[in-house]
Chain A
Amino acid sequence: MELNDIIKEENLVLKKSRLLTDNVMHYCPGCTHGVVHKLIAEVIEELGIQEETIGVSPVGCSVFAYNYIDIDWAEAAHGRAPALATAISRLHPEKYVFTYQGDGDLASIGCAEIMHACNRGENIVVVFINNAIYGMTGGQMAPTTLLGQVTSTTPYGRDAKLNGFPMKITELLAQLDGTCYVTRQSADTPAAVRKTKNALKKAFQNTRLKKGLSFVEVVGTCNSGWKMSPVDANKWMRDNMFKKYPLGDIKDV
């Protein structure tokens, strides 16, 4: 069997989503943001809601998310994506509104906004990319940084006495009655990618059912900020991040 006999339209099993634009993502090689963007595009395409979906992008490396997925977008001030999403969703209750936020954006500067959006039970989806660092600004400590983890602002490793403890914000948000679905996933292996896609699909379906706020954390890597190769970063994430941030559903009502 020659390659030409295999590479034919009728044998296609996977190709780039129609909703991903031709813009080259500005992310570093191997960055988790790219994988999650792809999954959001695929889910929106499969649910047939391209015209009804509005994303709110954050401040952080994914600030330009609106260049990559061909839907309507708004760009929020740092950490304020849940507040902006609240306004959009209340003005357009028939739309599918989601925020896309990093751990600095969501758990640090935007901690109040996410808490209250979850507590109010806004009918939105929140996609939370936890890479345990401020990627965009040069790898500073985030609330999610692990104890002992070296960052540009914790050069000797995060020390609980000086810097406090890693924040499991997802578990905190699950305590609030406005959240209907809270899950933590990853995107490092083919199986994990499939699970994250299913979680995202369920989250958007919850919006259709007007169930409240669905929160999908994806534990990811920032290989540049962590100063590792993409493959080593995935290994470090599995060995260290998953202990503090175990994968799986936390709440599903």
Chain B
Amino acid sequence: MSHKKIKTISDPKIKLEVLTKEEIIKIHEATLNIIENVGIRFPSKRALEIWEAVGADVNHDKKIVKVKPYLIEDALKQCPPKYVLAARDPQQDLPLDGNHVCLGTDGCGVEVIDINTGEKRTTELQDVRDISRVADATEEVAFHWVPVSAQDTPAEARGLHELKAVWENSTKHVQTESIYNVEEAKASMEMLEILAGGKDKLRERPMLSLMQCTAPPLGHDGGSLDAALIAAEYGVPTGFMTMSSCLTTGPATMAGTLAVGNAEVVAATALLQLAYPGAPVFYAAALTATDPRSGAYTGGGPEDFLFGAAVNALSDFYNIPLSMGSFATGAKEPNWQAGLEGGLSTFMASVVMSDMLLGCGFLHGSRIWSYAEMMMDCEIFSIIHKMMQGIVVDEETLAMDSIASVGPGGHFLAQKHTRNHTRDLFMPQFLDRRPYTLWEDKKDDARDWATAKAKKILKEHQPDPLDEKISKEFERIIKSVEKK
């Protein structure tokens, strides 16, 4: 039996204000100033033509565009504030409405800790299948990023092989960051059309969304821009993710890095709206601070956590959904650092109600996939999910009758009220609360249990299959993209 339930955070009882209204406006004004006076690089012929047509100042040699604030602000007003990320199974559709936090897997890993050998190795197509199947079974994972790269498939059609593999192994929504050129973008739209059963249906219920990276500081990648424009044309939700990082691709100061990243995302989002007004778009970010000693970009650390909350303040200001990087860690194995960084980043991004969280499962700065890490990240999400419900205070939860009947001394274990509410408490899967001696006998811990759980799912879970005819069609499309 497959799980149909998805756990999302909604109706939060905890709130956090990381930026005041005035501070948000200051960042917004700095952003407009950057776009108007410094400019943003758009190395795509199509993008430059769109900018030119609306009267922006376009330097074709440098491919730098400078845009008046009103053009940007008017374009942003066209963004739909709410829409749905559709899933193969409609019960698993995800509302992006500002009241749901949905967890996704992380994406594009290059190595995996093999679940059977425990050894690190290069990722393959089969890993995409396996991870997708495990994600399909967990109620915490609401949607997929293509988790790792199918390095045993031809580079020019790899992004398509990966999409096919996820769709064949899960009924949940798929978001990809691996489609960043025209050919693959067109082919992925063709695949999506077949999956949805027509172009109109595709627009109504997009079962795919596209995430493109910006090229900080203040630039974009041509292939990514062209791919995003194709997706927007089809009504497929598209987001630009800034990874601007204090010290290297952003100033050392957090506010400055926010302004740089925001300028990249806002300018590209405006471009999509100018080309296709009303196209579903989202804001995406994985801002962080570079390690001052080595230059490493791993995510994690206090700046990362603060960015996690701050970006949502900006995307709320623009009234568009947010996909926020969380769970990033530089840890090499699932350990103290991974737990710390996963916990705090995800708490900060969740407490402000980021619509999408990316994503569970990675180690070593988004490079190495670990099933144990994935499962434990899911538990962290569950804990935060529980915390976000806050403390309910009403007649029932004050439990006055129960308190009176127990009186001073005694215990609450035999009370009906207690029994009725025991299951309100959080039931951990991986927190060790055993007696010391029991632990001493085995010396096992969360990592072992998490791995065992993933193994069990891999052995037992069969996702609802994809129609074979559709798979065949997918194959045909992929073949047409592969070099002969």
Question: Is B truly associated with A?
Answer: no
